[in-house]
Structures are given as C-alpha cells and as structure tokens.
Structure 1
Amino acid sequence: YNARLGDPETQVILPRIKNDIIDLFKAVTENNLGSKKLETDERACATVILASHGYPEEFEKGKIITGIENTEDCLLFHAGTKTDETNNLITSGGRVLAVTSYGKDLSEALRNCYVNAGRIYFESRYFRRDIGWDI
C-alpha cells in the first residue's frame, strides 16, 4: 500500500486548514495535539496536475510556460518549474504545476481547477480530465 500523502493529496488538504500549521506540528512533537481544535474551511478543494506529455516516462524539459497571470482564485504549486537565463518560467520536470481551487462543492472546485488549468500553456502540456468525477 501507498499510505503516504503525495503532493496532490496534500495540496487539497493543507489549504483547507485554518489553524497555524506550525502550531499543530509543534503540538504533535509535544504529544499535545489533543489539546488543539482543528479548524477547516468548509469549501471543497480540488487539485489538477499539469504535467509534461510522457510523464512519468520520457518527457522534454525547457518549455516556456505562459498564462499563469490569467489564472484566478486558485493556488499554484510549482514542482517542475524554473526560470531560464532570460527569466522565462520554463518546465524542468514531469509534474510541472498543480492547480488547486475551492468551490462550494467538489464539482465546482473541479470546474474552477479545469478553467484555470486551461489558462496555463506550455508545449506538450497534459492534464487528466477525469479527476474526481467518479466520486
């Protein structure tokens, strides 16, 4: 079994936590987590990964990323990105960006993710379009 939280799982959980996460981590180290009340955002959250075509196998790097400035009401988690010598944002890994969005329910959160994912472009960009639809 894969019993750990990966990036996409963490990227939908942590944004919903209203508490100071450092205080929660500190309480864990002090064996005192039971004294804390976890406060969460009631909205649903979803994440869609923008990947380089071919990931997790062979994929090309160095593709210029555009459109980030056109995203709205989302969180962008950079994974396989870097800037080139002329300060362009470019791909540097297979999982390039994660787009995380909120919504009143999962369907709305997913729609918001896909709208924003569609605003970001790089050559050979790929993202799954079936995330969350079977839940």
Structure 2
Amino acid sequence: MLDPHFAEVYAELSKLSDGVLGTLSSDESERRRVATFIHDRDPAVTWFYDHDTGERRLLFRAYPRLDPADLAPMTAVHFPARDGLPLHAFLTLPVDVEPRDLPMVLLVHGGPWTHDTWGYSPQAQFLANRG
C-alpha cells in the first residue's frame, strides 16, 4: 500500500475474511467502511468496519444457507500443454475425500478473449460435492 493510513486500514480489513477484497466503500471521513470479499467458499461476504472504534460486524452473506466449511476450496494449478507451455487452471476437489483416482470434469472457458477467475463457482461446488 502506498498510503500508510490505508495500509493500516487494509491490514484490519484483511482480518475479516481470507478472501480477496472485492469492493470497498466508505463514509466521507474514510473511517467507516463496507467491504465485500471475493471468495471461493464464502461468496460476496460483506462486512462493516469502523476504524475509529474497531467495530466490525458481518452485514450479510450472499448465500446464507451455505456453510463455507462444507464447500470445496478452489486452487490455482498449472500443467504443461502439448507444446510445453503452461496451461493455467483452477482445481476444485471434493471435501474430505482422498484426491486419488477421482473422476474429472474439465470446464473449458469460452475462448482466448476470456479466462476464468478464482472465486465461487456453483458448478464446481456442485460437481465437487458429488465426488
């Protein structure tokens, strides 16, 4: 962080979620903030944070019926293509299942002009949940 004050704020915001800070808004004093995080198991979790008082509280979860502990993490991986160049992908494995001799589903993105990103994928979660 270039701004020392915001570095302090960011350090506190990072304690709210192990996801990636997605959107952040604040009041005019820049002391009270609403932060939404990108996450593979807790999508769009949104927190309130007051830098003056240290107050922090969960405002909402986009999918309140989903327990993040039950969902499968998404991990960035890479492997060589036929030409030796790396292919980058995201791997989602079933929770509490040994990652050995599992069936595989490859979800290919829509072309060279787009790519997948790390985050919550209902499709990947559904497939991982089914083994």
TM-score (norm 2): 0.29
Relative to its length, the structure with more strand (as a share) is 2
Greater relative CO (CA pairs within 8 A, separation 6+): 1
TM-score (norm 1): 0.28
Larger Rg: 2
